[in-house]
Homo-oligomer: A and B are copies of this chain.
Amino acid sequence: MIEVATQQGCETLVEAALSRLGVMLVGVGGAVASTTIAGTLAARRGLVAPRGAITESADCAGLDLAPLSSLAFGGWDIDQSPLSDRVRRHGVVSPQVVAAVKEDLDDIHVEPGIVANLDSTVRRLVRSPRISAATHSEAVARLVADIADFRDRQQVDRVVVVYCSSTDRTPINGPSHRDLDSFQRGLAENAPEIGNGMLYGYAAVSAGCAFVNFTPNTTVEVPALQELANKQNVPLAGRDGKTGQTLYKTVLAPMLRVRDLKLRGWYSTNILGNTDGQVLEDPLHGATKVHTKESVLEEILGYADFDHRVRIDYYRPRGDAKEAWDCIDFEGWLDTPMSMRVNWQGIDSILAAPLVLDLARLVGLAQRRGERGALPQLAMFFKDPYGTTEHNFFEQVVKFRQYVEGCRAETGAAVSTASE
């Protein structure tokens, strides 16, 4: 791979450089991020197919996406253990796969994570956090420097930062969110309304990186950072990956809608036993998550006179496997009540990983195409999508396909021009 002498080889290298993409993950050793990386490395070695990644499927054929082989991974974590240790401890990836990609995993540099608002729940979970900064300004400076180092080390120009940390408490409101000037004042003054996610978002966007919020946390959603993204010409995608219960909820609710079956109630409970579950046990953290889960039904159905309850409970035996149970009550002809129950036995990181991979590549593509700000075409990936109120999964799919068609049409035109 190194000794390339022919003309063709050089072109390939140039092309690779152009499409080479850096992916920095916040919470890189967490279950979601590390499973994404381990699986991508395994797919790169041909050990498994990248099952679940639609950027590898016919649906995305013809898009000028960064090849799997060109992705460079990095990121931050408050736990600096080697990534192979973290992956092993999560217990999601099989020992065989971990063994096969151990070296690749441990080559990845894990920068010390920053935690602006270290509350008691987080403190309890992290035995020896290496927090990299004491003030907001210091934190931002460290993060920007980390990104610059990563670019140099990995020889990548474009970097997507994907926020995969655990769920924060719902942030307090404050003047810093309003606009960029206020935010920068807030940084200087260590304003308490600036949370972790905003610090990462500010640093990433400042450094010209596209940003994906895969969590329910508040990051670049505040007006101040949207202003910055527009100024910096970077695209943003979020929020909160639609992996399990909300996925099928936004699939089944449209069925009720089309068939005019009137929803009377939807009870949803979730049990999970990983760190995310432990964090969500703290009601102040849990509220953040439940919020993005609850908003979807009214928009799809066009009415709101039903009970919608969402529970998330920590339950150790489940581990990273995330089980859900839903009870759905509806009425049909002659107002007759009927019901449906769903029991989902998924595995959180396994469902999330291909979405993280897809998002990094699709946002990378969007940045190359000059898109900036919210990317509504990616709504199908999120519980609470940017730039649209559309929650119906199939309408979101239609939007995504239209976008792909548009990209193909442009590329097709360019190609035919080039071939003249």
Contact = CB atoms under 8 A, between A and B. Distances in A.
B347 A338 contact: yes
Interface residues of A, number: 74
Contacts of A393: 255, 258
Given A247-B255, A315-B267, A335 B48 contact: yes
A324 to B, nearest CB: 9
Given A54-B259, A323-B327, A329-B317, A345 B335 contact: no
Interface in A339-374: 339-347, 350-351, 353-354
A54 B232 CA distance: 48
A351 B248 CA distance: 21
Given A97-B334, A260-B52, A316-B265, A340 B271 contact: no
Given A51-B262, A258-B380, A260-B57, A351 B333 contact: yes
Interface string A43-54: 000001111111
Interface in A93-107: 93-94, 97
A336 B350 contact: yes
Interface stretch (A74-82, A165-173, A306-314): A306-314
A39 B333 contact: yes
Contacts of A306: 317
Contacts of A332: 51-52, 347, 350-351, 354
Closest 5 CB pairs of A and B: A265-B317, A394-B394, A317-B329, A341-B343, A264-B317
A261 interface: yes
A48 B258 CA distance: 20
Contacts of A323: 327
Contact of A336 (B251, B258, B341, B347): B347
A189 to B, nearest CB: 37
Given A259-B52, A343-B340, A350 B334 contact: yes
A252 interface: yes
A336 to B, nearest CB: 5
A348 to B, nearest CB: 10
A317 B325 contact: no
Given A307-B315, A332-B354, A338-B350, 16 more contacts: A49-B335, A51-B260, A51-B333, A59-B258, A248-B340, A251-B252, A265-B316, A265-B318, A267-B315, A271-B309, A309-B313, A325-B325, A325-B327, A332-B347, A332-B350, A332-B351
